[in-house]
Amino acid sequence: MPNVSVQTTQQVHLDYEIAGIGERIFAFIIDAFLLIIYVIVSLTWMLDLFEGTGAGTYVIFYLVVYFPPMLYHLLFEFFWNGQSLGKRALGIKVVKMDGTRPNIGNYFLRWIFRLIDIGMTSGMGALIVILINGKGQRMGDIAAGTTVIKNQERTSLSETMMTDIDEDYEPRYPSAVNLNDQDVAIIKEVLNAEQEYTRNTYFLMLTKTQNKISAKLEINASDDLNAKKFLQVIVKDYNVLHGQKG
């Protein structure tokens, strides 16, 4: 599958693989199955509850049975960072094409266009547009400026923030304590990306990240450290300093 370039908070471009058609279809099937179960259970419960009552109570009936499924995708994607239950199960998520997190307006556009992409065309409209577009976008995504990517989780501390440190190690840059977990996770991600890019591209990523971190911490990178070594030292300093803080 093609990739989409996402710009991190450190102004570094990282490539993420666009979610495949199959993954999106299976995510849709999971969501549809869960919604059908919800409707059946809530419908049975509400029919028993309101049996023999007046017509006015059916307003509550429709609000409970049909309203939540209507808002399911909008609410889940907004509150679950671009994921419905089906998307989370398949490891995919909605992101903006410029790398920022979608806002409620973006999610709302995607949700409205579901009526055309999926509802009115039984999903064929979405399938055709995704295949033609080449960026994993259905019409709702094009309107909202979003796409769906594989959520390549890097949540293990050993793979993100933590690194091997000697017991007697002394921090070289005390101001590294002012970084946050996301900053260090991005640094580690850049450091670990050497095999994914050409030598020149990787060098530019390291240099750009070094410059951004140096500016944020208001320090000058030492001449005796290249960009890669500097970033490795920053990660070590961060872990030691935060260990001392805790």
Predicted confidence (pLDDT) per residue in 148-180, tens digit: 988 764 444 344 444 556 667 788 888 888 888
Q: Are 92 and 27 in contact (CB under 8 A)?
A: yes
Residue with the two structure tokens 């990240």: 209
pLDDT of residue 99: 61
Buried b (16+ CB within 10 A) or exposed e, 93-127: bbbbbebeebeeebbbbbbebbeebbeeeeeebbb
**Would you list the domain boundaries of the chain?**
3-150, 157-245
Question: Residue 191 is inside which H or E element, if any?
Answer: helix 181-191
Q: What is the mean pLDDT of residues 76-103?
A: 88
Residue with the two structure tokens 């017991």: 167
How far is it, in rounded angstroms, from Cα 202 to Cα 124?
40
Q: What is the mean pLDDT of residues 51-68?
A: 70
| Residues 3-52: tens digit of each pLDDT | 666 555 444 556 678 888 999 999 999 999 999 999 898 888 877 776 65
How far is it, in rounded angstroms, from Cα 131 to Cα 138?
9
pLDDT of residue 47: 75
Ramachandran sector of residue 2 (left: φ over 0; alpha: ψ -120 to 50; beta: rest): beta
Range of lowest pLDDT (7-11, 26-30, 188-192, 214-218)? 7-11
Q: Are 39 and 235 in contact (CB under 8 A)?
A: no
pLDDT of residue 10: 45
